[in-house]
């Protein structure tokens, strides 16, 4: 255990997070640090790519290599990194606006490629960093600065979306439950292929509806239903249907499917950065010979 | 001496393959050729043609005129009438009703029942081979030279198909020999082995030689061929190609792969390039290498997707939010597509910034015989990286990715996987490490550091090329593909005693003002020739070197490449009509 604390320490950085006290993102950070430590990973083996938003700051507070890029674009960065060097553990993270608004297209495509990435969406049902606008996961009728009369749209339902598009790992976590969240992150990182973890991470400053208490009252833990089987697609759909998407735990996991880098090129690695990028003269001539 | 041949018809009639076959045969037999395809953004229907110009020395342009026109339909005759001259030959299908060559030029006509003959052989599809055979006879080209090419092309479809094509070719050949007298002997051929290459292929090869091992792209004419090339070759070198969901993803995946230490690029054209603008800012800010190849086509919007234009210059120079260092390279020949793409990868890594290679449809999709492809000098080195030993010598957390202490502004980069090199590439303004900042003084210093990287940038003598009379009174200026017509126009002007020179700009950012200035100073008159409607290159010249009053523009923006004649006319008097700006 001492060992684990030491390695959790490795994933800490000195600068203090700038999140509001009580923000759900703190727990995501702590759970993720714990999860990678539990998995015995080294900081140089992990890349955390994030978008923009309060949630996007996760990479700055996490002691691995990181890329804090553009709004909605954490997944293309993560995929570039993962395909360039499949030996790295690649995690992408961001908010519900980031992932299901501007970045929705990237989400579906990373998912259908089954790129070996863990994607954590810190879902607070609102835009935090831009000070409280309606997000794609805000409930219909949700009042905010951009929907003073209540949101007119139906919310995006990320779990359905992921399941219907053939995701190989779908889970949901809650910032109010560090232990479960850590376990889910561990399983998601261990899963080979694309893993979605939608993580309810309350915004204590702007969202007065979807609070910790609200989630505690509504969420149903799959681990408390011992006969739940995450291998069954149908069961997964019927559960999230039954509970309006408000379940936590590993909802679906398909083992044994090849990840994208194994399909595209059969798993061979791209020439690593530290080996000389060279080509012999014979090889050069061989390429040219196609044109004679 | 030279010859020009063209086949035209409806898209889907095998125009392209007819052209390809003849181009291959001519190139293999040692003729210098240049092949240009004109096509429409349609799969079937619409006019299309394939033109080949054959010369006894290297040729970079498909030529103003036409000796032999192989017309599969009436439209081909009408559309290409202006290129025909007295003595030109039209070979046409007289089994089709409605093909009636006009008679106002002294043309030779060779009506051949192409479709009937093909049907007699058992398949209408081979009418293009019958026509090919007739063309060969008209050019006194021996049939045996076609054998290996036909074998290669049709072997996969079985011996029957090979034989059918052989027969069709022979039938056309014999029919022409028996019925028509006109002969258009080919220019003498050399004894050098020639490669037949396109700009897009050479861009791909330049990328491979430059160490590119990852390409993410989204299909778009005329850049898709680069993706095909990479799909074919990259896997042999441990590389990967991803068809991204859009250009935003493509460009950003390339940034991710570069961040992870693999040389990576994306290739696109106009609208796709616009989608990448946000990402260009990101690469600049995070100091991540990035290579973008923009094969320009007609814009704006989806504009003229299958026509050539050079109207993305301003976007290459200035596109994206904020201010970042960037390099923009513009090849002007098919061979240079290789050279500059190779260097793009070296420079991107060295300066840790976006490098844009701007080619265009004419360069990208045309093919030429090349006798000067020497690949032995392209060796890559790693640049601007911190080694594991250096990192090991530092205390934990001491490594500063965006170190301000570097005089040239280039702080050595660590790569995920390297111990003790941890950092976060940050799109927000940041300090030397990876902490977001808003402090005005630090912001200014970080900004200056980034811009300092290219302060003294000079690509060297190859930034520009100059041809002609040094003390000329007329200076022609261009970038990219119009150089090929300009070179020939200049040749004619010089032969006519005109004192003129041609300046070709190949690096447009950072602008090599010191190199360009003397040429503009010496010239009495400067004519900037470019394929766009607002004179973007002329504007750049005025901005970078002045001489506003001397600079005039010759612009063409109808999607069609310049002709040599048009340039000569513009210089020689019909100025009023053609000068703009
Ligand atoms: C292209 C672009 N559009 C808009 C923004 C402004 N912006 C920054 S964060 C954000 C929304 C963040 O919401 P969410 O992803 O839910 O994250 P949260 O702050 O709630 O954690 C927006 C719209 C931006 N940075 N870039
Ligand atoms: S605004 Fe909301 S999401 Fe952002 S840090 Fe504060 S509590 Fe967290």
Q: What is the pLDDT of residues B277-296, one digit of tens each?
A: 999 999 999 999 999 999 99
Are B262 and A271 within 8 A, CB to CB? yes
Instruction: Give the closest of A83, A106, A284 to B375, CB-based.
Output: A284
3-state secondary structure of A124: coil
- Cβ neighbours of A88 in B, within 8 Å: 260, 416-417
Q: In angstroms, what is the span from residue A96 Cα to ligand 1's centroid?
A: 9
Residue B491 φ then ψ, to 5°: -55, -45
Arithmetic mean of pLDDT, B196-211:
96
Say if residues B127 and B118 touch (Cβ distance below 8 Å).
yes
Q: Among A209, A215, A184, A179, which Cα is nearest to A197's?
A: A184
3-state secondary structure of B368: strand
Residue A276: CB atoms within 10 Å: 11
pLDDT value for A260: 94
Alpha carbons B345 and B374: distance in angstroms, whole number:
18
Closest residue by Cα to atom 6, ligand 2, is A20
Per-residue DSSP letter, B462: G
Q: Among B253, B231, B235, B266, which Cα is nearest to A266's?
A: B235
Tokens of B448: 């200056």
Within 325-354 of B, beta carbons closer than 8 Å to A belong to: none
For the segment A87-109, what is each residue's pLDDT rounded down to a tens digit?
999 999 999 999 999 999 999 99
Could you tell me which residues are beta bridge partners of residue B551?
A: B526
- Cβ neighbours of B260 in A, within 8 Å: 47, 80-81, 84-85, 88, 273
Q: Which range among A146-150, B181-185, B232-236, B389-393 shows the weakest confidence by mean pLDDT?
A: B232-236
Preceding peptide of B396 cis, ω within 30°? no
**Residue B372: pLDDT above 80?**
yes
**Residue A3: pLDDT above 90?**
no
Q: Is A72 left (phi over 0), alpha (psi -120 to 50) or beta?
A: left
CB within 8 Å of B158: residues ≥ 6 apart:
none
Alpha carbons A271 and B240: distance in angstroms, whole number:
10
Within 435-494 of B, beta carbons closer than 8 Å to A belong to: 435-436
Within 394-413 of B, beta carbons closer than 8 Å to A belong to: 397
Q: Give the CA distances from residue A7 to residues A182, A198, B348, B417, in Å, rounded to whole numbers and listed in that order.
A: 15, 26, 36, 17
For the segment B28-47, what is each residue's pLDDT rounded down to a tens digit?
999 999 999 988 887 777 88
- Cβ neighbours of B379 in A, within 8 Å: 278
Are A67 and B259 within 8 A, CB to CB? yes
User: Considering chain B, what percentage of its residues have pLDDT values greater than 90?
Assistant: 88
Q: What is the dihedral angle through the alpha carbons of A242, A248, A251, A253, rounded to the nearest 10 degrees?
A: 180
Residue B383: CB atoms within 10 Å: 17
Ligand nearest to the CA of A207: 2
Residue B303: CB atoms within 10 Å: 16
| Helix (DSSP H) and strand (DSSP E) numbers for chain B | 21, 22
Strands B327-329 and B354-360: parallel
Arithmetic mean of pLDDT, B59-69:
96
Using the Cβ of A270 and the Cβ atoms of chain B, whether some distance falls under 8 Å is answered with yes
Pocket test for ligand 2, best of A126, A204, A208 (most atoms within 8 A of CB): A204
Buried b (16+ CB within 10 A) or exposed e, B317-345: bebbeeebbbbbbbbbbbbbbbbbbbbbb
Alpha carbons B173 and B114: distance in angstroms, whole number:
11
Alpha carbons B479 and B486: distance in angstroms, whole number:
10
Could you tell me which residues are beta bridge partners of residue A173?
A: A199
pLDDT value for B576: 46
For the segment B503-529, what is each residue's pLDDT rounded down to a tens digit?
999 999 999 999 999 999 999 999 999
Alpha carbons B356 and B293: distance in angstroms, whole number:
6
Q: In angstroms, what is the span from residue A249 Cα to ligand 2's centroid?
A: 24
Q: What is the 3-state secondary structure (H, E, C) of B277-303?
A: HHHHHHHHHHCCCEEEEEEECECCCCC
Alpha carbons A13 and A22: distance in angstroms, whole number:
19
**Residue B169: pLDDT above 90?**
yes
Are B426 and A68 within 8 A, CB to CB? yes
Average pLDDT score over chain A: 94
Half-sphere exposure of A37 (CA within 13 A, CB side): 21
Q: Give the CA distances from residue B35 to residues A132, A216, B137, B222, B471, in Å, rounded to whole numbers and listed in that order.
A: 59, 71, 20, 16, 35
pLDDT value for A1: 45
Tokens of B571: 């210089």
């Amino acid at each position: 255990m001492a060992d684990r604390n030491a390695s959790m320490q490795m994933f800490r950085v000195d600068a203090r997070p700038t999140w509001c006290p009580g923000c759900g993102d703190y727990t995501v950070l702590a759970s993720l640090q714990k999860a990678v430590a539990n998995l015995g990973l080294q900081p140089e083996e992990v890349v955390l790519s994030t978008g923009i938003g309060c949630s996007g700051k996760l990479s700055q507070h996490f002691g691995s290599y990181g890329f804090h890029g553009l709004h909605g674009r954490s997944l293309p960065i993560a995929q570039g990194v993962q395909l360039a060097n499949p030996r790295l553990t690649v995690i992408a993270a961001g908010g519900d606006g980031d992932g299901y608004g501007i970045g929705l297209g990237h989400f579906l495509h990373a998912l259908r490629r089954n790129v070996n990435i863990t994607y954590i969406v810190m879902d607070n049902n609102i835009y935090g960093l831009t000070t409280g606008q309606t997000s794609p996961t805000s409930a219909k009728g949700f009042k905010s600065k951009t929907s003073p009369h209540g949101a007119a749209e139906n919310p995006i339902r990320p779990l359905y979306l992921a399941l219907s598009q053939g995701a190989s790992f779908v889970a949901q976590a809650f910032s109010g439950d560090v232990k479960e969240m850590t376990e889910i992150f561990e399983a998601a990182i261990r899963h080979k292929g694309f893993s979605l973890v939608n993580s309810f991470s309350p915004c204590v400053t702007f969202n007065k509806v979807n609070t910790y208490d609200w989630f505690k009252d509504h969420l149903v833990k799959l681990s408390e239903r011992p006969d739940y089987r995450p291998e069954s697609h149908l069961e997964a759909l019927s559960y999230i249907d039954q509970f309006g998407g408000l379940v936590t735990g590993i909802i679906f996991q398909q083992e044994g499917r090849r990840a994208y880098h194994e399909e595209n090129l059969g798993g061979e690695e791209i020439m690593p950065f530290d080996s000389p990028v060279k080509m012999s003269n014979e090889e050069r001539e061989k390429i040219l010979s196609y044109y004679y | 001496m030279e010859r020009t041949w063209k086949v035209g018809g409806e898209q889907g009639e095998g125009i392209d393959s007819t052209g390809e076959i003849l181009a291959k045969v001519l190139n293999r037999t040692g003729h210098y050729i240049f092949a240009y395809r004109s096509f429409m953004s349609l799969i079937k229907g619409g006019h299309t043609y394939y033109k080949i110009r054959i010369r006894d020395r290297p040729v970079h342009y498909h030529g103003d005129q036409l000796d032999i026109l192989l017309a599969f339909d009436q439209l081909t005759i009408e559309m290409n009438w202006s290129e025909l001259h007295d003595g030109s030959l039209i070979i046409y299908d007289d089994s089709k009703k409605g093909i009636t060559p006009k008679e106002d030029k002294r043309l030779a006509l060779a009506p051949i029942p192409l479709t009937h003959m093909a049907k007699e052989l058992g398949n209408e599809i081979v009418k293009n081979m019958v026509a090919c055979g007739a063309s060969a006879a008209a050019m006194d080209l021996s049939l045996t030279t076609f054998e290996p090419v036909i074998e290669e092309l049709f072997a996969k479809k079985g011996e029957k198909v090979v034989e059918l094509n052989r027969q069709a070719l022979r039938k056309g050949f014999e029919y022409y020999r028996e019925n028509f007298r006109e002969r258009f002997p080919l220019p003498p051929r050399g004894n050098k082995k020639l490669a037949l290459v396109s700009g897009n292929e050479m861009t791909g090869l330049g990328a491979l030689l430059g160490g590119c091992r990852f390409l993410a792209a989204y299909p778009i004419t005329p850049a898709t061929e680069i993706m095909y090339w990479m799909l074919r070759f990259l896997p042999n070198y441990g590389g990967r190609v991803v068809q991204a969901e859009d250009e935003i993803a493509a460009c950003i995946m390339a940034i991710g792969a570069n961040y992870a230490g693999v040389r990576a690029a994306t290739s696109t054209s106009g609208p796709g390039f616009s989608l990448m603008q946000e990402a260009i800012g990101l690469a600049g800010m995070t100091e991540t290498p990035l290579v973008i190849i923009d094969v320009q086509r007609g814009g704006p919007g989806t504009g003229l997707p299958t026509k050539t234009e050079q109207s993305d210059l301003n976007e290459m120079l200035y596109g994206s939010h904020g201010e970042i260092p960037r390099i923009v390279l513009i090849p002007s020949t098919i061979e240079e597509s290789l050279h500059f793409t190779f260097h793009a990868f070296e420079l991107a890594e060295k300066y840790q910034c976006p490098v844009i290679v701007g080619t265009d449809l004419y360069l990208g999709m045309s093919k030429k015989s090349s006798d000067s492809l020497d690949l032995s000098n392209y060796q890559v080195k790693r640049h601007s990286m911190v080694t594991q030993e250096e990192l090991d010598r530092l205390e934990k957390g001491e490594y500063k990715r965006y170190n301000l202490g570097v005089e040239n502004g280039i702080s050595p980069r660590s790569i995920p996987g390297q111990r003790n090199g941890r950092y976060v590439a940050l799109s927000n303004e940041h300090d030397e490490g990876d902490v977001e900042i808003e402090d005005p003084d630090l912001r200014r210093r970080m900004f200056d550091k980034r811009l300092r990287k290219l302060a003294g940038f000079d690509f060297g003598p190859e930034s520009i090329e100059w041809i002609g009379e040094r003390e000329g009174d007329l200076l022609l200026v261009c970038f990219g593909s119009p150089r090929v017509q300009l070179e020939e126009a200049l040749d004619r002007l010089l032969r006519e005693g005109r004192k003129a020179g041609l300046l070709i700009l190949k690096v447009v950012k950072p602008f090599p003002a010191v190199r360009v200035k003397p040429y503009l100073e010496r010239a009495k008159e400067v004519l900037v020739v470019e394929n766009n409607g607002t004179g973007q290159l002329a504007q750049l010249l005025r901005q970078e070197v002045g001489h506003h009053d001397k600079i005039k523009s010759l612009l063409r923006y109808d999607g069609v490449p310049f002709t040599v004649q048009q340039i000569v006319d513009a210089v020689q008097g019909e100025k009023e009509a053609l000068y703009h700006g």
